[in-house]
Amino acid sequence: MNKEMPPYIAHIRKLGGASQSLENHLLGVAEKTKNLAVKINLAPQGELIGLLHDLGKYSDAFQAYLKSAVGLINQDEDEFVDARELKGKVDHSTAGAQLVWRELSGQGNMGRIVGQILGLCIASHHSGLSDCLSSDTNRPAEDMFTRRISKRDDRAHSQEAKMKMDALIDKRFRELVGNPALIDGVKESIRQVMLRDDIKGIDPSKNTITQFKLGLLVRFLFSCLIDADRIDTADFERPKAAKHRLNGEYTEWPLLIERLERHLQGFTLRNPIDEIRRSISDHCRNGAIRDKGAYTLTVPTGGGKTLASLRFALHHAERHKMDRVFYVIPFTSIIDQNAKVVRNILEPTKDDHGRVVLEHHSNLTPEQQGWKEKMLTENWDAPVVFTTSVQLLESLFGGGTRGARRMHQLANAVLIFDEIQTLPVNCVHLFCNAMNFLVEHCGSTVLLCTATQPLLNRVDQSKGALKFTKNDDLMPDVKGLFDDLKRVEVLNRRKAGGWTDEEIARLALDEVVQSGSCLVIVNTKKSAQALYRLCREAAGIQTFHLSTSMCPAHRKEILEKIRKLLEDKLPVLCVSTQLIEAGVDVDFGAVIRYTAGLDSIAQAAGRCNRNGKQKDADGNSKAGRVHVVNPAVENVDRLKDIQCGKGITERLLDDVEAGSEDFGGNLIGPNAIERYFEYFFFARHQEMDYPVSAQTVGRDDTLLNLLSSNSLAMDEYGRNYGTAPNIYLRQSFMSAARAFKVIDAPTRGIIVPYGEAGRDLVNDLCSAFEVEKQFELLRRAQQYTVNVFPQDLEKFQKAGAVHEIQKGVDILYLSDARYYDQSFGLSQTPEGTMEVLYA
């Protein structure tokens, strides 16, 4: 063995063959985990799990595996093993879990609780949080934690590792487990959770909300460990890349505030709407002095929420010395637009670029990553992060380690949720409990922004409702604000038998003539294509189509053309799916909306007369028209959200027609929206705890239950064994994570060769091998990606139209560009005219 080779190795650098000693890795991860876990006052606990997470690597079995894998042991030597055959089979994570459990479980009931929490984090650090009680279709409920912690020593290697650990590791381990603060710190955290949600007469172990939050506490600590481990490993592997990490050393809030305020001062107040927007912004600025908490910003569409809420966030972060600001947006169709606006303000120079605003809103790489892909994983290390609700919910509830790694960054942060009404209904209780946890136990502030505020504080309290801070809305007079910003008239144009496509096309073309421009928003891609085909031949009217089958770069290009035509007051018609509703900044003279939820209709109305430019024959301001129509043919049977929302909206419209309701004369005002969500949440209340089927987890259950008291698994265990399992945490973390999907079906991204830039990008990706270069290419690829459902992906694969960008790299691109149409985007048939690309 080389004299410079440490006796126990954690990693071998692929380039150059340098080795990282196991001692240095454990100490490095311990220090990093401690510094992250201090956010929730669990620094010693974080240090201990970091110190022990790879303890099993001290075993001869692991060292032989590692050295054989990199050629440090010759095939002819006795110690040589078949590393390829053993990959993933040499256990190095159980040893540390067993050691901490054995040391702490003998220190009373609280010691057992702390031992389970820390042991679970260590044992799970490669797989994602494991089940405490199993919950799957193949076997009855089992105590998986006890089974793991009781693993035979010839497979766990804990005694061998304990004897061989470096003296410095052993010394620090003894100091940590001997310090009363180790147990007392967790005890205090649990006490704080129980105080917040104590219900008299209910055992805390059976209190759904308490146990759910304790599960989040474990996941937070787990997140600290995963991020620390990945950073330490990556920085050893590529030390040059490590120099580019920000590591929390950000541009100071006062400088970012100064940049934003300078930008806002440059706005010219051209009309009364601009005056109202200025007032909204000022209220947000004044509201920043409030304590940390959960707030709402209820502002009509077109009220300038993006910069107003950012103004609140920056000033609030500076006042309370918070770490970062998250801007969470439901759809990638608007994240580019909003992030670009903010980036231009907060990153005015080339030196600032990439150091302030981080965009993270694509899922190109799968969970099963190779070392290259792991290097590309982002951990939200930036002062201002733009991400999607999908990514945020994955960080809180998703499986594996990739999403969980980011969770700890949500502490001591301002979280702005734009268009919060789009939150999936099955995630309501999971979301509310998680936000309460972040506010109450992680020092964060949550701001829910929308024109159509859902009633998240009025859902079932026993399952978890959002706890708003007193006087929660940053606007003092929401109703008055909606009256002042009323720029449209909503017309109920439904009729018996519904509207044919031809009738809707005529209405749209007539509105272009009368109002100068018209936007038609439909519920399905099929409807959008059919209507577009009918309208596009109209003389003198430029007609466009938008849907999520088009990559972001394509949609962005279309939107820029539309905005230019609108600014030049030229006739334009656009047919779009609902992607255009949530925050896309366009201003049409009229809007036609297929019947849907009232919140969707209100959002659609926000694209009409947005800046109050509509005038009558005498030059006076007039309201824009929003037509609500019921198509004669439309299949939304599989779109439950749309179907349910549509039914409730029709009920409200019928009430207005019958004279039993008038909602203050505003069909999309706060009173109408409140009534809509009362009906909507009542109709869907049984879905809000995320139901899952027996085919998924072995019994009909809910994710809320699986991640809290897990009562059904507990009952099953009791029936089988006649007693309760002797563990404090009973959650089925991994089973719940497998069942958790933010959307109904998992989608995969396909990079499409749209335009010259898209073709060049695909070619570069197929030939790039440097990690840093791939990182930048994949960031660009987000703009050229279309997400497809599994059944559609299968059709493309059978047609030979998609390939991996490189052999063994599970990232797909469209190799036959004929499947991408200039009007409709990605298509199941080769209708496009672009050439075929070859891998």
3 state DSSP class of 7: coil
pLDDT tens, position by position, 165-182: 999 999 999 999 999 999
Confidence class for position 783, pLDDT limits 50, 70, 90:
confident
pLDDT tens, position by position, 226-262: 999 999 998 998 888 777 777 888 899 999 999 999 9
Give the pLDDT of residue 137.
Answer: 82
Give the pLDDT of residue 101.
Answer: 97
Q: End-to-end alpha-carbon separation of the chain, Å? A: 43
pLDDT tens, position by position, 113-123: 999 999 999 99
Give the pLDDT of residue 337.
Answer: 73
Give the pLDDT of residue 620.
Answer: 80
pTM of the model: 0.88
- Pairing mode, strands 748-751 and 785-788: antiparallel
* Residues making up the chain, counted from first to last: 839
Q: Which two tokens stand for residue 688?
A: 């809000």
Q: How far apart are CA 485 and CA 605, in angstroms?
A: 12
Candidates 306, 307, 324; CA nearest to 261 is 307
Confidence class for position 333, pLDDT limits 50, 70, 90:
low
Q: Where are the alpha helices (DSSP H) in 740-825?
A: 755-767, 771-781, 790-798
* Locus of tokens 């797989």: 127
Three-state SS string across 287-310, please? HCCCCCCEEEEECCCCCCHHHHHH
What element of type H or E holds 184?
helix 181-197
CB atoms within 10 A of CB 361: 20
Q: How far apart are CA 474 and CA 219, in angstroms?
A: 32
- Residue pair 519/527 in contact by the 8 Å Cβ criterion: no
pLDDT tens, position by position, 362-389: 533 333 333 333 333 368 888 999 888 9
Confidence class for position 316, pLDDT limits 50, 70, 90:
very high
Confidence class for position 729, pLDDT limits 50, 70, 90:
very high
pLDDT tens, position by position, 694-725: 999 999 999 999 999 999 999 999 999 999 99
Candidates 769, 727, 821, 787; CA nearest to 101 is 727
For a pLDDT cut of 70, what percent of the chain falls above it? 92
- Residue pair 311/305 in contact by the 8 Å Cβ criterion: no
Confidence class for position 415, pLDDT limits 50, 70, 90:
very high
Give the pLDDT of residue 582.
Answer: 67
Candidates 217, 182, 216, 205; CA nearest to 104 is 182
- Pairing mode, strands 809-814 and 802-806: antiparallel
Residue 665 has pLDDT above 90, yes or no: no
Q: Which two tokens stand for residue 672?
A: 């109408």
| CA dist 325 → 416, 566, 590, 747 (Å) | 8, 33, 36, 28
Q: Which two tokens stand for residue 192?
A: 């704080």
* Locus of tokens 């029709």: 650
* Locus of tokens 């929660």: 472
Q: What are the strands of the beta sheet with 542-546, ordered from one edge?
A: 488-492, 624-629, 590-594, 517-521, 572-576, 542-546
Give the pLDDT of residue 375.
Answer: 34
Q: How far apart are CA 431 and CA 444, in angstroms?
A: 14
Q: How far apart are CA 526 and CA 476, in angstroms?
A: 43
Give the pLDDT of residue 743.
Answer: 65
Give the pLDDT of residue 583.
Answer: 66
Candidates 101, 93, 95, 94; CA nearest to 118 is 101
Q: Which two tokens stand for residue 467?
A: 């706890």
- Residue pair 670/107 in contact by the 8 Å Cβ criterion: no
Q: Which two tokens stand for residue 461?
A: 């309290």
Confidence class for position 139, pLDDT limits 50, 70, 90:
confident
Residue 661 has pLDDT above 90, yes or no: no
At 160, the amino acid letter reads E
pLDDT tens, position by position, 44-59: 999 999 999 999 999 9
Least confident of 263-272, 423-432, 713-722: 263-272
Least confident of 85-99, 265-279, 736-750, 766-780: 766-780
Confidence class for position 83, pLDDT limits 50, 70, 90:
low
- Residue pair 788/752 in contact by the 8 Å Cβ criterion: no
pLDDT tens, position by position, 606-659: 899 988 888 877 778 888 999 999 999 888 887 888 899 999 999 999 999 888
Give the pLDDT of residue 373.
Answer: 32
Q: How far apart are CA 507 and CA 170, in angstroms?
A: 78
pLDDT tens, position by position, 540-578: 899 999 998 999 889 989 999 999 999 999 999 999 998
